[in-house]
Every structure is written in C-alpha cells, then in structure tokens.
Amino acid sequence: MSMGPTVRRRRLGSELRRLREPKFKLEAVAEELGVAPSTLSRIETGKAPTKTIYLMKMLDMYGVDDPAQRQVLIDMAREGHRKGWWAEYDDVLPTGFGIYVGLETEAAGLRTYVADAVHGLLQTADYARTVLREVNARDSDEQIQRLVSLRLARQDVLNQDPPIDLWVIHDESVIRRAIGGTAVMRAQLEHMIAAASWPGVTLQVLPFGSGAHAGLNGPFSILEFPERTDPEVAYVESVAGVIYLEKERELRACIEAFDRLRAQALSPAASTELIAGALKDV
C-alpha cells in the first residue's frame, strides 16, 4: 500500500514536534512563524499541510543542517500537499471528515464500535441513502447522492490487496432498527451476513442482554497503520463534530474499551446467527 498524503502529513508533523520540543515552546515557534499556535498545532498533528516557507524556517530554528534530512522532510511536506481521491467530494464532506477518510484509506486495520446504524464500510447504497437523508435533512437530492457515492467509494478498502483488517462490533439495536423499510433492511442484513465471510472482516454483535458495557459513552473507531512508526489514532464522531484522540492515555482507554466490548459481545459465528434471526423477523 502506498503512503498517501494524510499519513505523510502525520509523519512530518510528528517529526517536527520531536525536533521542536527539546528547544522551543509551541507558542514561541508560532510567533516566529507569524501564525496562531492552533495553526502550528494542526501542522504538528498532521491535520494541515505546511507551507515551504514555514518548514524551512522551522528547520533552521531547530538546527536541522543535514542536507539529506532536510530533503526528506521537504519531500514529505510536498507529498502532504497532494490531494487524495476524496478531494473530489470536498463540496459535501463534513468539516474535519476528510482527515478521517484519508486515515481510513491508508489504514491497515480498523476496530470500531457502532450503536445506531450499520458501519459505513458495510452499508448498502439504499441503506446509506436513507441514513444520510435523515441526518442531512437540509441537503439536496444531488448532495445526498454524492454523499452516498463517497460512502461507497470508501468501501474500496475492503477490496484492495491486502484488504483493510476490519473488526466491527454492532450494538444489537443496529440490526433491530428497521431503516428504509422492509426491502432495504432485508438487503442490508443479507449484505452483513455475506460480509462476515469476507477476508479481513470480523463482525460481532453486542446483545441487549449484555447490560452495561464499555461502549455506553458512544461509538468510536481505532485506526492502525502498516508502519509501526505511524501511531494509532482513535476517532469519535458526534453532532458537535469530530475528535481525533492520539495521546497515549486516550488511545489506551479506547483500546481497553474495545477489548472489553469484544469480550462481552457474541462470537462472530453467534453474531451471524443473530443477524440471520433478525433477517427472518423483518
């Protein structure tokens, strides 16, 4: 898998932060660059590309004199400006979601807990259209169709070589809530049953009978990347916006919560049986 612009920006930002921290406070460097501290923070966390003029000034401040090292970082910055395939959907992408799509596209593994609807990577077009129409009530039909197209395009990670290692835990309410009517829901459940046998896909259902569980704070995702030097990142989405969790303590909390959820959820085989039972009830 080739490294895309999102991971390039994360690697560059991580290296710039490593070079800065022993010598300067973030605010001091931001002042020298003439930017807001929040702007420099976004560069260091890989959420925004950096201008060449800023990069060169930072490298000078941090004492990076080796021509080869400087060139590597300059090349990474240049690659970080490259647009990913999802840029085609900039007109409908929710704020901050383009970063997630980039991370998902370049991830080797994705562990996620969802409580309200089937995970986007496993949605059928009709199911996705119904969900997106409801949560984006002010969008036009054309905008909704573009969002559906984006969601389906994201699913290419399941067909790449190797496919993303996808582990999804759905709350039982996901398979019981009839979204889009009988035909749409039946097709969606059939699609989930089929997906459970795909390479790299693990599906579990957290049953109602499990009672209190580690996911009561809400859905979350954990993305991991092919290179060990690229740290995992957790992603949380809500009506208030998106949050990326990258601090070790925050990541550990998400990883531990997911481990507890998969221990409490039904086995993959039993989960498929439960989905099949839900299909009969539709």
Which comes out higher in pLDDT, residue 1 or 246? Answer: 246
Q: Parallel, antiparallel, or unpaired: how do β-strands 241-245 and 233-238 relate?
A: antiparallel
The string of DSSP codes covering 64-110 is ---HHHHHHHHHHHHHHTSPPGGGGGTTTPPTTHHHHHHHHHH-SEE
Q: Is the pLDDT of residue 260 over 90?
A: yes
Residue 210 to residue 264: CA distance in whole angstroms: 7
For residue 131, the model assigns a pLDDT of 97
- At 89-115, the pLDDT tens digits run 999 998 888 889 999 999 999 999 999
Q: For the chain, what percent of residues have pLDDT higher than 70?
A: 99
For residue 157, the model assigns a pLDDT of 96
Q: What share of the chain is helix, strand, coil (3-state, %, to 5)?
A: 55, 10, 30
For residue 25, the model assigns a pLDDT of 94
Mean pLDDT across the stretch 240-246? Answer: 82
Mean pLDDT across the stretch 66-74? Answer: 89
Which comes out higher in pLDDT, residue 69 or 119? Answer: 119
For residue 164, the model assigns a pLDDT of 96
Q: For the chain, what percent of residues have pLDDT higher than 90?
A: 75
Residue 55 to residue 150: CA distance in whole angstroms: 33
Q: Is the pLDDT of residue 1 over 60?
A: no
Q: Which domains does the chain have, with CATH numbers?
A: 5-80 (1.10.260.40), 86-281 (3.30.870)
For residue 8, the model assigns a pLDDT of 83
For residue 189, the model assigns a pLDDT of 98
195: pLDDT confidence band, cut at 50, 70 and 90?
very high
- At 133-174, the pLDDT tens digits run 999 999 999 999 999 999 999 999 999 999 999 999 999 999
The answer to whether 190 and 80 are in contact (CB under 8 A) is no
For the chain, the average pLDDT equals 93
Closest to 143 measured CA to CA, from 84, 86, 91: 91
- At 5-53, the pLDDT tens digits run 888 888 888 889 989 999 999 999 999 999 999 999 999 988 888 998 9
For residue 3, the model assigns a pLDDT of 58
